[in-house]
Amino acid sequence: MVLVAGSANLDFVVRAPHIPAPGETILGGAFQTFAGGKGANQAVACARAGGVATHMLLALGDDAFAAPIEASLNSADVTLHTVRPSGVPTGSAFICVDDQAENAITVAPGANACLTSAHLPPLKGYSHLLMQLEIPMETVTAYALAARAAGVQVALNAAPAQPLASELLAAVDVLVVNEGELRTLAGVQGSIAFCLAHLPCPVVVVTLGARGCVVREGATFHVQTGFEVLAVDTTGAGDTFCGALVAALADHTPMAQALRQASAAAALACTQMGAQNSVPTAQAVAAFLAQSPQPQDASDIEALRQYAGLS
């Protein structure tokens, strides 16, 4: 069973031909609202794409923005541990998605900033705690230390990028970062392989968008190439990857297969608009993988290894 502790937002999404530059005003297209927030997205991915029992600790305001978030999590069969701070609105995010499916996001944390160490539920029965950095850093650290003391595996998606205290890093079992976040945390410049050598976590996963991902598991390296899909919106793809990966690990799936499942789930998430509603089911992931080549193409693997500095 997985516990996700993190953010929950209502996303306000507008399509536009390109993401506006500073000071630029452009005419957009379709506007929609979606349930989002990195924590809630990952909880939905754990439950729906990963197919494992998932609980979520989250903070919501007593307002209309909370209802669609709760409905989305409930529809994915996520068990909620909800904190409702008085007089604080539900978190929100403002997202522009361009014609290349790239996005720019601004988050107003709202109630997410009110989660404290006192809100963590008893950890008995959980195998993994999954977190992100859209709740206070001191809260993330307190939860990680409590999980470590309870023998619960700690998975951290270190996003948005910011330096992490050595105390927190020492309590993380599985660290998931993108290439920019990797360099921020490693504090060095160089290849992906070189940066990975400067992080103490037992497992570090580096996501590389459409390229795929690179993982250091102890002294062993894994590479997983990306799956080609017709991308409509990349919002939530990274969160889908994180949730599906941790779910697979909680289900005792070997790392190489867990990466393949998570990468497939993330690719499928790019084929629909929105964050949580674009997360595929475990059945859809399995069907997609059944139609995909296996093993990976040797030339694609070598190209990814070279990009990462492993060859």
List pLDDT tens digits, range 57-110.
999 999 999 999 999 999 999 999 999 999 999 999 998 989 888 889 898 999
pTM of the complete model: 0.93
pLDDT tier at 297, thresholds 50, 70, 90: confident
CA distance linking residue 257 with residue 245, whole number of Å: 9
Asked if 239 is an active-site residue, the reply is: yes
Question: Taking CA 243 as the corner, what is the angle to CA 239 and CA 245, rounded to the nearest 5 degrees?
Answer: 115
- Joined together, the tokens standing for residue 250 give 């909680």
Q: What is the pLDDT of residues 111-138, one digit of tens each?
A: 999 999 999 999 999 999 999 999 999 9
CA distances from 69 to 126, 134, 191, 230, 246 (A): 23, 16, 39, 27, 22
Q: What is the pLDDT of residues 144-200, one digit of tens each?
A: 999 999 999 999 999 988 889 999 999 999 999 999 999 999 999 899 999 999 999
For 186-221, letters b (16+ CB in 10 Å) and e give beeeeebbebbeebebebbbbbbbebbbbbbbeeee
Q: What is the pLDDT of residues 194-242, one digit of tens each?
A: 999 999 999 999 999 999 999 999 999 999 999 989 888 888 899 999 9
SS3 assignment, position 80: strand
- Catalytic, out of 239, 251, 297, 300: 239
Per CATH, the number for 2-7+38-57+78-83+122-308 is 3.40.1190.20
CA distances from 186 to 204, 208, 283 (A): 11, 16, 37
Residues paired with 246 in a beta bridge? none
- Joined together, the tokens standing for residue 206 give 């580096």
